[in-house]
């Protein structure tokens, strides 16, 4: 069994102090007052995203003292910036952002700062000046890529192997960092990248792009790195339609660890899955409260992620939460 962690830490988060900076200006104050939070979600591209949205909605419930204004941007950066503008205009107490892409944030975050509205990032990192947001809570995408790449290096890296890659949303932190991590782990092996294209983190695009790869390279492909489960699941249809056996003719490594991904692993259609924990809501809500109360928070909180082979997937599935 190749589980990387000792136990399934669904909500266990490890605090990592990166800069020791304190939170930005708090608006509204804590106590018994209902806290109004605007949440700018990426969209609804994947099973991971559905679990993350549910976790956030549960944590930011009225029972917990929040009023949540939820916006899903359909993975369009311009929609997301517009949502954040709208939150500022509505005078919310705090803004939480799961950024579609890493760039283009400085102006709107400066506006939030001028309005004394603290911004907390969840899930995805951005390139903006860190003084413009109070904290980030999420997963270590680079490490996820490294873990997936280490598995590939160990499993097929000593024989000539042709890989194709299904990338996530272009310009998003997970697409950038997972690619970097994976590349660093396969350096010096016999794995060659035949092609790498975006499948936008969706099943539909994963299938379409994989069909294109198969038309172009046919049986040359031995390995697929799908940067999330959904794209890998979409690719399964394309591989089977091409008369090939996923998991055997083409080895498949993915990232997320959703129930559907672990089921494909348990069935032998995927070969390895690296976890990305989406259950961040409780920790994000706690940081939002602390920021509003003027308490010092860490600049970054990194979730613990596991990794699964077939045996570990079989063991995890009966109690898997997402």
**Which residues make up the interface to ligand AHR (CB under 6 A)?**
45-46, 48-49, 123-124, 174, 201, 228, 230, 255-256, 276
Rounded distance, CA 21 to CA 315, Å? 41
Q: Under 8 Å CB-to-CB from 243, ≥6 apart: which residues?
A: none
Minimum Å gap between C-beta 306 and ligand AHR is 14
CB of 254 to ligand AHR, least distance (A): 9
Residue 274: DSSP 8-state = E
CB within 8 A of 85, min separation 6: which ones? 108, 111
Which residues are within 8 A (CB) of 273 and not within 5 positions of it... i.e. 6 or more apart? 229, 253, 254, 255, 256, 257, 261, 262, 265, 307, 308, 313
| Residue with smaller CB distance to ligand AHR, 203 or 251 | 203
Largest CA distance in the chain: 63
Minimum CB distance to ligand AHR smaller for 46 or for 102:
46
Q: Which is nearer to ligand AHR, 46 or 283 (CB)?
A: 46
Beta carbon of residue 219, minimum distance to ligand AHR (angstroms, whole number): 29
Of residues 46 and 161, the one with the C-beta less far from ligand AHR:
46
Which pair of tokens denotes residue 319? 């109690």
Provide the minimum distance between the beta carbon of 192 and ligand AHR in the complex, in angstroms, as a whole number: 25
CB nearer to ligand AHR: pick between 156 and 255: 255
């Amino acid at each position: 069994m190749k589980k990387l962690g000792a136990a399934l830490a669904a909500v266990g988060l490890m605090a990592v102090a990166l800069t020791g900076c304190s939170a930005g200006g708090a608006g509204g104050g804590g106590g018994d007052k209902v806290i109004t939070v605007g949440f700018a979600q990426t969209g609804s591209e994947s099973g991971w995203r559905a679990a993350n949205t549910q976790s956030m909605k549960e944590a930011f419930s009225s029972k917990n003292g929040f009023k949540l204004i939820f916006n899903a941007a359909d993975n369009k950066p311009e929609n997301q910036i517009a949502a954040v503008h709208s939150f500022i205009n509505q005078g919310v107490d705090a803004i939480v952002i799961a950024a579609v892409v890493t760039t283009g944030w400085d102006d709107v975050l400066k506006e939030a700062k001028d309005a004394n509205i603290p911004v907390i990032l969840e899930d995805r990192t951005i390139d903006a000046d860190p003084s413009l947001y109070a904290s980030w809570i999420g997963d270590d995408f680079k490490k996820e890529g490294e873990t997936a790449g280490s598995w590939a290096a160990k499993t097929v890296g000593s024989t000539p192997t042709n890989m194709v890659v299904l990338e996530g949303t272009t310009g998003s932190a997970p697409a950038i960092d997972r690619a970097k991590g994976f590349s660093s782990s396969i350096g010096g092996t016999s794995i060659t990248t035949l092609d790498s294209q975006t499948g936008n983190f969706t099943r539909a695009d994963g299938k379409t792009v994989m069909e294109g790869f198969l038309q172009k390279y046919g049986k040359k492909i031995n390995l697929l790195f799908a940067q999330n489960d959904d794209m890998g699941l979409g690719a399964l249809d394309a591989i089977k339609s091409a008369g090939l056996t996923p998991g055997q003719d083409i080895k498949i490594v993915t990232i997320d660890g959703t129930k559907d991904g672990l089921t494909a692993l348990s069935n032998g259609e995927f070969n390895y899955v690296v976890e990305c924990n989406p259950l961040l809501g409780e920790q994000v809500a706690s940081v939002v409260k602390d920021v509003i109360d003027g308490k010092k928070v860490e600049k970054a909180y990194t979730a613990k992620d596991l990794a699964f082979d077939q045996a570990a997937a079989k063991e995890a599935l009966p109690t898997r939460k997402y």
